[in-house]
Amino acid sequence: MKLKTAALVLAVSVAAGSLAYKSTVLSENSFEGSDLPFEWHNANVYFVITDRFANGNRNNDNSYGRPYKDDSGYSAGTFHGGDFTGLTSKLDYIRSLGVNAIWVSSPVEQIHGWVGGGPMGVYQYYAYHGYWPLDFTSIDANLGTVEDFRTFVTEAHKRGIRVLIDVVMNHSGYATLKDMCDFKFGRTVGNVDPCSKFIPDVEAGQSYHNKPIDASEDESWNRWWGKDWIRFDGYGQTCGAEDSIDGCLAYLPDFKNSDPNANEVSIPVFLQEKWEHKDKLHDIPAAIPYRKGQMSVAQFEAHWLASWIEEFGIDGFRCDTVKYVPQKTWKLLKELSENALNKWRIANKGKDPAANWTDPFYMTGEVWGFTNDPEDRLGYASNGGFDSLIDFYFNPDGVNLNTCIIPDPDEWKRYAQMYGREDSKVKLGNLTYISSHDTSLCRKKDMEKAAVMFTLMPGAIQMFYGDETARENDKGGGIDLEQGMRSDMNFPADIINADKWSANVGRLSSEYSSNKVLSVWQKVGQFRLRNPAVGAGAQYSLGENSFCRIYQDKAKGIDNRVVIHLGESDKINVSKCFANGTVLQDGYTGKEYRVINGSVEIKSEKLALLEIKR
């Protein structure tokens, strides 16, 4: 909800005598809380698979001939219609969760066709999740247009939400019959026309795994990526399921990007011919200069991806399959990305509020099974340019149902020791989750407790869309547990009130969802949003299950302090955080208290979230 208040004063004295926040004048186009202090180590990242979130434009649902139901009548692995127009329409809802960064599945154009889905290959599996890239320089038409995406980024920025996109450097998408038809490359079994429909002969034991693609070595594959670009059987290089940098992961064609300074390569034939036909709706303008010339594979990929930052002002990358790409290649991407963001900020003063932001470009990544390395012993920060890595500790298992661990106060203490700093300076940060697209959906009986204990974790956190609404694993319509983890978003019945829920996040909301569990996610998330000390600050014990967290940034004049108390209490010691006479508000109940003799008299039944009254 847009505010028309002339001024919002957030400056108050604290124990140390410095300012919690500076006074800020909001314009007609500002959103409540859009000016709150931001620190990546306190990020509350909302991860969305765009296709499964919200359908804002049904006209793009069947782009490239993709169906909602495949030829066998299943929708487990198809595109469901979610797009950036729909996602933009739900930004107030997302903001009401206290989210200050959103990670979206890769928006780059994906392979057009399908591969066999599930162990038995009973359905057609499309690239709705964004991990099978075809053209890094175009937006996937199923997700919208260049201007749709630009609008999404700008509207997120207006709400103080940073935007991260998923990036894939390790591999291309699979070869599919549809792409072989569209781009005239490759070989089929028995010279079958790739443009014809393939229906498996079930009685003969066939499945969609038996699609008639002949990947043996043949010149017909030279019109695809080419042997200088990828490892693939069609180029006489076995492409299996190796766990190495110079090998194929899950039979995915592996980009030869191990050395940024490797021999220069030319643009693949299929891309040259594709780019002869301009597509102003979907081509990324800043990427056009990199559709020609010669560079190494790593340099082409890095320039293509960085062009999205230069064009849209994207604030960060979530990098996929990090351990399968050398750190020096990631470092190249980081350097180009930083330059691109600086260039975008200069060019977009007055057009997008993020042009005035000063926080650095952020890069986090997936190293499967990784937990933590705050001292950067593995070199992902110093040699790879990463600011953080995803932390698998609380949900390490793939596919299985409900295998997550809910953090407890002891885990808070352990993580605070690793990541809690008053100045937030950590060599390699973390991004902790309890649900993800590759593991299980965390759905414990007490999801209110899960919301509290997870959202108040030290370090950065990542929600998976629907954590807050207990979105169910629908088993992909009953046929695949893995696809079911990415089921369609289940919005609350009262989402029409989302603008009211997000109207006062910078001060203290007075309205929340009528859904009891969702309201807890909102209250605790908004408390975290207002207070960088929650995730980025140092933690001090005030007694059993009672903690003070402090974050300071002297350059910005910020001294932010909070007290978190779990369980029942009549009096809470706050002396480490707040001076006598300070008026506090409880971000959970909305009640106000004054500090007397280092404590506040309070009737707390389960949780108190104390912050300076705004």
pLDDT score recorded for residue 605:
78
Q: What is the mean pLDDT of residues 487-506?
A: 97
pLDDT score recorded for residue 22:
32
pLDDT > 70? residue 10:
no
413 belongs to a structural domain = no
Confidence of residue 29 (pLDDT cuts 50, 70, 90): low
586 belongs to a structural domain = yes
pLDDT > 70? residue 20:
no
Radius of gyration of the chain (CA): 25
**Would you call 403 exposed, middle or buried from its count of C-beta atoms within 10 A (0-12, 13-18, 19+)?**
middle
12 belongs to a structural domain = no
pLDDT score recorded for residue 19:
31
| Gap between the Cα atoms of 259 and 583, Å rounded | 58
| Top-confidence residue, 93 or 605 | 93
Domain range for residue 578? Answer: 537-612
Confidence of residue 30 (pLDDT cuts 50, 70, 90): low
pLDDT > 80? residue 147:
yes
Q: What is the mean pLDDT of residues 386-410?
A: 90
Q: What percent of the chain has pLDDT over 70?
A: 94
pLDDT > 70? residue 542:
yes
Place of tokens 């186009």: 29
pLDDT score recorded for residue 424:
78
Tens of pLDDT, residue by residue over 102-132, are 999 999 999 999 999 999 999 999 999 999 9
Catalytically active residues, by annotation = 320, 366
What total of structural domains would you count in the chain? 1
567 belongs to a structural domain = yes
Q: Decide the pairing of beta strands 388-391 and 362-365.
A: parallel
| Gap between the Cα atoms of 226 and 431, Å rounded | 36
- For 558, list phi and psi in degrees, rounded to 5: -110, 125
Which string of DSSP letters, residue by residue, matches 30-84? -BTTTTS---GGG-EEEEE-GGGT--S-GGGTTGGG--SS-TTS--TTS-----H
pLDDT score recorded for residue 6:
28
Please give the helix or strand (H or E) that residue 329 lies within, else none. helix 327-347
Token pair in block for residue 58: 């049904």
577 belongs to a structural domain = yes
pLDDT > 80? residue 4:
no
Confidence of residue 423 (pLDDT cuts 50, 70, 90): confident
What's the chain's average pLDDT? 93
pLDDT score recorded for residue 33:
83
Q: What is the mean pLDDT of residues 208-220?
A: 97
2 belongs to a structural domain = no
How many contiguous H segments (helices) and E segments (strands) does the chain have? 14, 22
pLDDT > 60? residue 16:
no
445 belongs to a structural domain = no
* Residue 583's CATH number: 2.60.40.1180
Contacts of 59 (CB under 8 A, 6+ apart): none
pLDDT score recorded for residue 338:
98
Q: What is the mean pLDDT of residues 400-419?
A: 92
Please give the helix or strand (H or E) that residue 429 lies within, else none. strand 429-433
pLDDT > 60? residue 397:
yes
Token pair in block for residue 41: 């180590």
pLDDT score recorded for residue 137:
98
pTM (predicted TM-score):
0.94
604 belongs to a structural domain = yes
Q: What is the mean pLDDT of residues 185-194?
A: 97
pLDDT score recorded for residue 168:
98
Q: What is the mean pLDDT of residues 149-166?
A: 97
Q: How many residues are recorded in the chain?
A: 614
Tens of pLDDT, residue by residue over 234-266, are 999 999 999 899 999 999 999 999 999 999 999
Confidence of residue 193 (pLDDT cuts 50, 70, 90): very high
Residues 13, 15, 19: CA angle, nearest 5 degrees: 35
* Closest by Cα among 49, 83, 47, 45 to 162: 45
pLDDT score recorded for residue 363:
98
Confidence of residue 14 (pLDDT cuts 50, 70, 90): very low
pLDDT score recorded for residue 1:
34
pLDDT score recorded for residue 35:
87
pLDDT score recorded for residue 343:
98
Tens of pLDDT, residue by residue over 428-453, are 999 999 999 999 999 999 999 999 99
pLDDT score recorded for residue 23:
28
Could you give the C-alpha distances from 193 to 67, 185, 186, 190, 506, in angstroms and in order? 20, 12, 11, 9, 59
Tens of pLDDT, residue by residue over 261-288, are 999 999 999 999 999 999 999 999 999 9
Tens of pLDDT, residue by residue over 76-94, are 999 999 999 999 999 999 9
